[in-house]
Amino acid sequence: MILKTIRGYTPQYGAHCYFSENAVVVGEVIMGRDCSVWFNAVVRGDVNTITIGDRVNIQDGAVVHATYKTAPTKIGSDVSIGHNAIVHGCTIEDKVLVGMGSIIMDHCVVGTGSIIAAGSVLTQNTIVPPGTIYGGVPAKFIKAVDAELKSGQIERIAKNYITYASWFKE
């Protein structure tokens, strides 16, 4: 892992985190327990704060960044950020699945228990209500998250990534 101090800020992270060999985490990043940052993923807290809860997985090729002085990034707990997603200057609440290749722009808020469909673009200032699925370009409301999606996708993927990370720690 590349762990780098920028502008006097060194990333902080909790117990039992996993970082692949080429994950990059720099600057003002505060990350909770049991998180994972996978191959070629970048968490770049050089221009503003990035706060990440517990049990968050940032999958291969994803980028988490912020905007200087105006848009920090806040990610809750039990969040999965899919492969090649971009999370930028926004708030993602707890138990959210961000689909592969999605883009979430500045000042968006993704409510608890939501799913952002793969390949979606949340344009600046989009508010995703809790428990909803948004998809498309630009992303729009698709439907409410039902119990099967909640347990079968959001919760399952978050738990699986804790297991996957344990394989790499052996």
Q: For 64-90, how does the pLDDT look when each residue is reduced to its tens digit (9 = 90+)?
A: 999 999 999 999 999 999 999 999 999
Contacts with 64 (C-beta within 8 Å, 6 or more apart), sequence order? 41, 42, 43, 44, 50, 52, 58, 73, 75, 81, 87, 88
- Mean pLDDT, the chain, rounded, equals 97
Would you state the pLDDT for residue 169? 83
- Look at 151 and 73; give whichever has higher pLDDT: 73
Asked whether the predicted pLDDT for residue 13 surpasses 80, the reply is yes
User: In the structure encoding, which two tokens stand for residue 127, read together?
Assistant: 């508010």
Would you state the pLDDT for residue 57? 98
Q: What domains sit in the chain, N to C, each tagged with a CATH number?
A: 2-169 (2.160.10.10)
Judged by average pLDDT, the poorest of 29-38, 82-91, 142-151 is 142-151
